[in-house]
Amino acid sequence: MMTLAIVSNPVSIFLIVLVIILLAPVFLNKLHVPHIIGMIAAGVLVGPYGFNILDRDSSFEVFGQVGLLYLMFLAGLEIDMYRLKLNLKRGFVFGLLTFLIPSALGLLTSRYIMNLDWITSALLAAMYASHTLISYPVVARFGITKSPAVLISIVGTIMAVVGGLMTIAVAVNIHSVGEFQLSALGTLIGKSLLYLLGVVYIYPRLTRWFFKSYSDHVTQFVFILAMVFMSAQIARFIGLEAVLGAFLGGLVLNRYVPSGSALMSRIEFVGNALFIPYFLIGVGMMINVSVIMSQGTLSVAGIMLAVALVSKWLPAYITQKIYSMDRYSRRVIFGLTTAHTAVALAVVTIGYQMTNADGSHMIGETILNGTILVILVTCAIAPLVTSPAAAKIKIKMVDSGEDAAQEENHRKGNTLIPIANPTTAYPLVELALMMQPSDDYKRDSLYALHVRNDNSLSSKAIGRNALDIAMQVAGTVGVNLTPIERYDLNIVTGVINVIEERDINTVILGMHRKTTVIDSFFGSKVEGLLKATNKMLVISRCYIPVNTITRIVVYVPEKAQFETGFRRWVTALGNLARQLSCKILFCCNAELNQYITAVISQQQLAIRLGFIEMQDRDDFILLSNKIQDDDLFVYVSARANSVSYSADMVEVPTFLQKYFTHNNLMVIYPEQFGEEPSVFSFSDPMASDITLAPVPMLVKLGGWWRKLTGAKSDKQRDIDI
């Protein structure tokens, strides 16, 4: 008979849990033990089967269930959807192997060696099939996340997790019905399809509308959680498992929560700081230490561990042979896919809560503790296998010169964000963050600037408030931003001085709002900056939240590839498209198409890319009828006397003001070297020789033929989405 726990006061219980969450990582980092194991071990110590300090009361039931759903929600939210599509073929083959082989071995060994019933065997088969990329930080540290082995592992993980969750749903449904019924299975599949279509169709539209209507960040966070738990509840209502609903909710909402956004940081923070640790500690409290050391548990754990390791090594070996990969790639695939954590915990938790006719747990304490040992061993093996293999792949990349080329293409710079008032601080900083690479060591150093020309208390308060908001936005995603408050003659002078003092490469600022008839489109401040500096200027105006943009349409003038800042602005827009998981369409001629594709390829930006061929100014004018309210239209301009400048650009501000008044708009002036633009000359030193670069004859003939016949390229259909 179990005795009462030592601590029963709610405040004391919560304090002990917080102390465990705080101290466990501190000690485990020194021992190089994954945090997940430490939380479970702490739960064992304080639980009823350990020192009996805490009882597994209703608070652990509630928070534990929330933590389990949160864990699966994050798994769906953090998946790179574009890489899933990009590597679908090879990943599909590996996904089938890494799901079917463990499922078959797990089902047969559980039924005929461990003498379990078919439903319990199916649950364990789902546990063997699924895995967690717990050693992904290892490959990220070595910088090989874009290698084929890692990409195949990511796609295979998605398929294995989804397959495992579907297996769980079918097993739970059969257990509740009492027998296998084909009609019941057909009904379940029909309900699942309707549920899937409903979530995929309704959730994106409802989320886009909500984000446009409510900009409060706390409200958006609560909305996302409500949508996820609604998906989980509906899944449970129709006979599926709630964890499948949470995972599907994460997949669908993936598009609206960019990985580098403040919203994503809040979601990860709340889950990792409270709900998921609470769930892990609760799992540990279910473990009976005396049972785990018994002869029966060790033998069961040995069988389970052998099945778990062999069934994940075989798919990696077969995939290596099919695609002629080296042994280091095989080891990376095996190391990434051998760890069992999230779904394994879900399986044993679900099975432990399910009861047989005699009242016993479907998954008893022996299998529960054996599963915990499997988790412990596989989580320890995964990094040990992955690390040396990842190092070998990194060395091969360096020897081949590929890595050196990547480092050259990822040179850091300095970005300045002039902020006039607190209202514009959040969207400008968020935009600047999304235009940065995902890796911290590749990010630009960010500076936020407020310039004032008076010393009044109100002016000082506005500036400090704006800079505080900018720092909060950057701090939310873990990025350092340096605030600069400057007193100067005027805004243009202040910005120019900071550009020179901080060696700024890029300036991102909000678009001027035209207030009078005689006022220009860009305003005197932007025009002054264009004359005073050669650095890249990004002028932005978004009427909707940036994470609700569905497509980026970029117009690129001829000879833009010869500008000094060509690579920089292409990379920035590629990063923005990657963060938003949206398609980016470049409207340009055939020659520019090749240069843009080369930059995207060299930077290894996994984005959906499209081109619309533009031959003359008439094609550009027609664009105004194709830009939708949810699109971001980007116009790449040029300073006077630059290589890509043309006389037609004089009329562009008027055209943008007339036809793009209600559209989301961004205007980019690429960086240029040479003399200051304010110093006029009859020849541009940048234009020497390169303006005479010959256009391929086939490109010329193709353009003439289209003009004569009125034909358009196949890629031009993309703009009519």
Q: Is the pLDDT of residue 691 over 50?
A: no
pLDDT confidence tier of residue 264, bands split at 50, 70 and 90: confident
pLDDT given for residue 586 in this prediction = 92
- Range in 33-37, 92-96, 250-254, 351-355 with the lowest mean pLDDT: 33-37
Q: Average pLDDT of 159-181?
A: 73
pLDDT given for residue 359 in this prediction = 67
CB 17 within 8 A of CB 276: no
164 membership: H or E segment, kind and range: helix 148-177
Under the phi-then-psi rule, with left for phi > 0, alpha for psi from -120 to 50, and beta for the rest, what region is 487? beta
Say if strands 664-669 and 414-418 run parallel, antiparallel, or are unpaired.
unpaired
pLDDT confidence tier of residue 680, bands split at 50, 70 and 90: very low
The answer, as to whether pTM is greater than 0.75, is: no
pLDDT given for residue 291 in this prediction = 64
Task: Kindly report the length of the chain.
Answer: 721
- Range in 229-233, 370-374, 711-715 with the lowest mean pLDDT: 711-715
For the chain, what percent of residues have pLDDT higher than 90? 14
Q: Is the pLDDT of residue 719 over 90?
A: no
For the chain, what percent of residues have pLDDT higher than 70? 80
- Give residue 465's identity as a one-letter amino acid code: N
Neighbour-count burial of 187, counting CB atoms closer than 10 A to its CB (0-12 exposed, 13-18 middle, 19+ buried): middle
pLDDT given for residue 123 in this prediction = 85
Integer Cα distance of 350 and 360 in angstroms? 14
Neighbour-count burial of 567, counting CB atoms closer than 10 A to its CB (0-12 exposed, 13-18 middle, 19+ buried): buried
* pLDDT top residue among 224 and 177: 224
pLDDT given for residue 517 in this prediction = 47
Considering 133-137, 606-610, 677-681, the range whose residues carry the highest mean pLDDT is 606-610
For 246, phi then psi, to 5°, come to -65, -40
- Range in 311-315, 557-561, 667-671, 705-709 with the lowest mean pLDDT: 705-709
> Could you report the per-residue pLDDT of 355-404, keeping only the tens digit for each?
766 667 777 777 877 887 888 788 778 878 888 888 888 887 766 655 44
The stretches of 286-359 forming alpha helices (DSSP H) are: 289-292, 295-322, 327-337, 342-353
> Could you report the per-residue pLDDT of 119-150, keeping only the tens digit for each?
888 888 888 988 877 677 677 667 776 678 88
